[in-house]
Amino acid sequence: MTRLTARRGLLALALVLPACRKDPTPVQPPVPVTAALAERRDVPFELAATGTVEPIQTVAVQPQVSGPIVRIAFKEGQEVTRGQVLFEIDPRPFQAALAQAEAALARDKAQAANAEAETHRYSELASKDYVTAQQFEQVRTDAATATANLAGSRAAMEQARLNLQYATIRAPIAGKTGSLRVREGNLVRSTDATSLVTINQIRPILARFAVPASNLPLIQRHRGETLAVRAAPVSGGTPVEGTLNFVDNAVDTATGTILLKGLFPNGEGVLWPGEFVNVRLRVYTDTNALVVPSTAVVSGQQGNFVFVIQPDSTAATRPVTVARAAGDLSVLSGGEIRPGDRVVTDGQLRLRPGSKVQIKTTATTAGENET
């Protein structure tokens, strides 16, 4: 019985010992994260909007005189300079009219000169009572009539010369021509409402856009400065730099916006009339502002915070106050972040205060990644 009892005791002890042994707590592996550096930089404050490009001037070229077109001196779609010849209307009728007007002017000059001489002669005769007062008055009347006829002839000649000039149609502005609506040989009339061609001035050019009226006090506060405007076609393209040159005098009550216009040199012709563009108006610049990537900011019940990677590769939370967003950056106006702190930009969902981290990517500057 003693041996049997001892065996039972050993068996019971063997069963109890594994149950009393505790497994060691498993070590949590580091959480892989992406990090960036908080830094100070100059950050512009910009208002974004969608705008429409419009020419500064648009001119519909119309004939001032009637006649057949004998020459078209440009190609449709061509850029023209101010004063460049566009069309020529048959000048022969106007040349003949000018010659006739010049002849009439010469005749009336001679008659006026003769009438003036007669007046002077009759004046002397009337003073000696060699002619009656009635005769003298008739001579004076004839002289006045001759002078009036001379003035009318001069006006007729100027009109004839002007009509001859109108027979050569020149570009009233510099710009780009549209499609031609006439061809050589077509008869055009000064009374026609249809234009021959339309010219749009594209250098410089305007872009009109609207921003919320709540931004008007800010714009007015900086209106004395030269406010930069950038515009890029919605379809893609290099942004064009310009300046703000117009603020409307009233808020649109229907939309609650204020109309603005930017002026662009458009030297390379990137902007095109009627095109939709993405516009950014730079109102001012925050100098030496503390920024972090916006992806680093986490919203919590107690406010915004970021995860900061400490020297021992553990994560700690730091509260922050975001003043505004600037592209992919957040400008901080308060909090416990210092320039040079490494903040987590990806992987925050798996982090807890004190969690070990493994940095996959570190940014040398906020918003720039380096493997």
Q: Tell whether the model's pLDDT for residue 371 goes beyond 60.
A: no
Query: In the chain, how many domains are there?
Result: 3
- Give me 303's structure tokens: 């406010």
Residues 37 and 75 in one domain: no
Full residue range of the structural domain in which residue 187 is found: 60-198
CA–CA separation, 9 vs 296, rounded Å?
62
Q: What percent of the chain has pLDDT over 90?
A: 69
Residues 108 and 182 in one domain: yes
Residue that terminates a domain, selected from 198, 214, 230: 198
Residue that terminates a domain, selected from 167, 198, 229: 198
The pLDDT of residue 22:
53
CA–CA separation, 352 vs 300, rounded Å?
13
3-state helix, strand, coil in the chain (%, to 5): 30, 40, 30
Residues 65 and 192 in one domain: yes
Report the range of poorest mean pLDDT among 131-145, 331-345, 347-361. 131-145
The pLDDT of residue 12:
53
Residue 293 lies in a domain: yes
In the Cβ-directed half-sphere of 248, how many Cα atoms lie within 13 Å?
16
The pLDDT of residue 5:
53
The angle subtended at Cα 167 by Cα 164 and Cα 173, nearest 5°, is: 115
Mean pLDDT for the stretch of residues 299-305: 90
Residue that terminates a domain, selected from 258, 286, 314: 286
Q: Tell whether the model's pLDDT for residue 26 goes beyond 80.
A: no
CA–CA separation, 342 vs 292, rounded Å?
9
**Close Cβ partners of 53 (under 8 Å, ≥ 6 residues apart):** 205, 206, 207, 231, 271, 272, 273, 274, 275, 276, 277
Residues 296 and 347 in one domain: yes
DSSP label of 160? H
Q: Tell whether the model's pLDDT for residue 249 goes beyond 50.
A: yes
Local confidence band at 251 (pLDDT 50, 70, 90 cut-offs): very high
pTM of the predicted model as reported, rounded to 2 decimal places: 0.72
